[in-house]
Amino acid sequence: MSHITFEMRGDVALLGLNRTAKRNAISDAVLEELKGLIARAEAEAKAAVIFGHGPHFCAGLDLGEHVKKSPFEGMLNSRRWHDVFGRIQLGRIPWFSALHGATVGGGLELASATHVRIADETAFFALPEGQRGIFVGGGASVRTARLMGVARMTDLMLTGRSIDVATAELWGIVSARTPAGGALERAVELAAQAATNAEMSNYAIIHALPRIADMAASDGLFVESFVSAFTAHSPEAEERLNAFLEKRAAKVARPGGAA
């Protein structure tokens, strides 16, 4: 039985977690299905959006499965999460997530693997692993900690408290928020915009920026020079630059579209 829907809207793939009775908790089967659909999205789309059906985005790991695993099986399962989520973060196309309701534990880890996160006013965020007697295992110690900072992540893990969307935006977990029910539409809109970019530029953005962020400043600047030169001399970049110089492409406008 499929627990993830897949559809195309133009050049954008939409993947919808659809295990609503479990608040879209991620089981082993869901993870393997996600892995296959990530590959399909890369083959068919230029950008992708992941969202949750029902009242929640994702409540995280399916604890009913996890509690039955041995320590070694648990470690291997964690590595599977790392592998699948890594295919989102460091794949071929940009990924957007539309968040609402519970974005908790592994759900927040999944969202953290996407490149842009849009949340509506119903979204809430938590890392309750400390209260469950476990530790994060889907990449939060790397990806989520880089978004909110180690001190804030420590707070959430030690206390088990949840934060609302306004706090999540302030902490850098989400890029923008919308009224209730508006996150998916906005995420699709932004993904469609990203899909119009040069493929090489998108690839450079999602691959170079996180690596440069982990480098010393001088190393990062050196790598930036190579990426900049490489992308600027592609045929597509030359055409886009000439279109701008010849006034065939729009200038950057103020927010709201005013000149």
Active-site positions read 109, 129
Largest CA distance in the chain: 64
Nearest CA-CA partner of 209 in 219, 199, 220, 198: 220
Residue 107: helix, strand or coil by DSSP? helix
Q: How far from chain centre, in Å, is Cα 211?
A: 16
Three-state secondary structure of 118-152: EEECCCEEECCHHHHCCCCCCCCCCHHHHHHCHHH
Helix (H/G/I), strand (E/B), else coil: 11: coil
Beta strands 4-9 and 102-104, pairing class = unpaired
Phi and psi based region of residue 149 (left: phi greater than 0; alpha: psi -120 to 50; beta: remaining): left
**Long-range CB pairs of 169-173, under 8 A, 24+ apart, other chains included:** 169/119, 171/147, 172/147, 172/148, 173/108, 173/111, 173/112, 173/117, 173/125, 173/144, 173/147, 173/148
